[in-house]
Structure 1
Amino acid sequence: MSGPRDSYAGGVRKVARVVLLDPRDRVLLLHGHEPDDPSNDWWFTPGGGVEGNETRADAALRELVEETGITKVELGPVLWRRRCSFPFAGRRWDQDEWYYLARTTQTATRATALTELERASVAGARWWECEELARTHETVYPTRLAGLLRTLLDEGPPARPVTLDTEIV
């Protein structure tokens, strides 16, 4: 989620996220909330800011291990790209996010290296079936994840990354 070593380009944080699927095509989402208000919560894909000279793919894999403990991963192509801007933990975050497809058979999760902010704002992880995502009334980011996941499962990865609508909260 955050760290002093994150890479910013013109004030925009470069982020790598992972759409991690298990053998049953469930997607792993983290449950997050405002550090001082657990009732203000949402679900989101694992991932975070690019650090130093690492590639986005390297950042995706590192963040996945730090946030979930999952190391047995087959990293696939970039599925989607999204610009977003949102308030969190007392400041505004402007991000350029790339979402990588990944598959794993390792379904047990255990955060191994959360930042102080993540420890205060991440309440756990859960595997979601596509149909569950489509039915939920909980907040999920990106906001159209259920439909995007359905298209991915039905049609496979896009030939080139799809640019999602900019989300400003």
Structure 2
Amino acid sequence: MTHIDRRAARVILLDAADRVLLMHGGDPARPGERWWFTPGGGLDAAESPAEAAARELFEETGLRVTPAELGDPVHHEVTEFSYRHRDYRQDQHFFTLRVPAWEVSTAGFDADEQQTITEHRWWSAPDIEASTEQIFPLELAALVRRLTAASSAGALRPVGDPTPPRGGVAPGDLADVGRAHGVPSDGR
């Protein structure tokens, strides 16, 4: 089987209640199958993962941030999936961002997103663990727990928070939290 190689960037957006924002959607070629996933998508030509993550976050949620505010990736995986009858191998980096709260705007959806993303919801780690629905990445609940623990320790600040993190740990220093290489899944 031949795969189309693709690079992507995604954002684990956390609110003050330690919930992560997930989008719900699917592949138009498989109308009965749906799954939950973090905001994000493919990199444009010459775009860095952080630039793509910031762009995708704005397009899919209306939240505008700079790539620098996302810091370094906190998780990495390679996933394989099919979409519109094509097989992909996607190398994706996940960034994290904490906001006090956010009211999602889907006004920036492109035509494909309008067809495939049907809803969004904030999920706690226990909600993710208790769900029988498909949620990607597969280890998201454990990753959310590690990130919220880092946040409680002062290593992850909300956007626009001028207070320096406690202990001298900058948000970009979370690169080792939850990092996993080469974990295959069926997620997008």
- Aligned mates of 1:81, 1:63 — CA distance in 2: 17
Residues 58 and 65 of structure 2 are in contact (CA less than 8 Å); yes or no, is this contact kept in structure 1? no
Higher mean alpha-carbon deviation, 146-155 vs 17-26, is at 146-155
Shift of residue 159 of structure 1? Answer: 3.1
Distance (whole Å) between structure 2 residues aligned to residue 99 and residue 132 of structure 1: 20
CA separation of 1:164/1:129 partners in 2, compared to 1, >3 Å: closer, same or farther? farther
More strand by share: 1
- Give the structure 1 partner of residue 46 of structure 2: 53
Check the 8 A contact 1:72/1:106 in 2, yes or no: no
- Return the structure number with greater helix share: 2
Residues 94, 100 of structure 1: alpha-carbon distance in 2 compared, 3 angstrom cutoff = same
Q: After the TM superposition, which of the residue ranges 159-168 and 27-36 deviates more from structure 2?
A: 159-168
Question: Aligned partners of 1:68 and 1:164: how far apart in 2?
Answer: 28
State which of 84, 87, 92 in structure 2 corresponds to 1:89. 84
Describe the shift of the 1:90–1:80 C-alpha distance in structure 2 as closer, same or farther (beyond 3 A). Answer: same
The residue that corresponds to 1:70 in the other structure is 63
**Gaps (5+ residues) in structure 2?**
152-173
Larger radius of gyration, structure 1 or 2? 2
Overall identity of the aligned pairs, in %: 34
Partner in structure 2 of residue 129 of structure 1: 124
Instruction: State whether residues 79 and 162 of structure 1, in contact with CA within 8 Å, keep that contact through their aligned partners in structure 2.
Output: no
Q: Give the structure-1-normalised TM-score.
A: 0.84
CA distance in 1, matches of 2:146, 2:72: 15
Question: 1:163 matched to which residue of 2?
Answer: 181
Q: Which amino acid aligns with 1:141?
A: F
Displacement, 1:33? 1.5
Specify the SS of the correspondent of 2:138: coil
Deviation at 1:46, TM superposition (A): 0.4
**In 2: Cα distance, 1:84 partner to 1:36 partner:** 19
Q: Distance in 1 between matches of 2:131 and 2:16?
A: 22
The total of aligned residue pairs comes to 160
Q: Using the alignment, how far apart are the partners of 1:64 and 1:107 within structure 2?
A: 12
Give, as a single letter, the amino acid of the residue that structure 1 aligns with 2:20: V
Q: Which runs of 5+ in 1 are unaligned?
A: 1-9
Q: Could you say what the CA RMSD is over the residues aligned between the two structures, in angstroms? A: 2.2
Partner of 1:101: 96
Q: Is the alpha carbon distance of 1:158 and 1:62 closer, same or farther for their aligned partners in structure 2, counting shifts above 3 Å?
A: closer
Out of 22, 27, 50, the position equivalent to 1:29 is 22
Are the aligned partners of 1:80 and 1:164 in contact in 2 as well (CA < 8 Å)?
no
The equivalent of 1:140 in structure 2 is: 135
Q: Which amino acid aligns with 2:143?
A: L
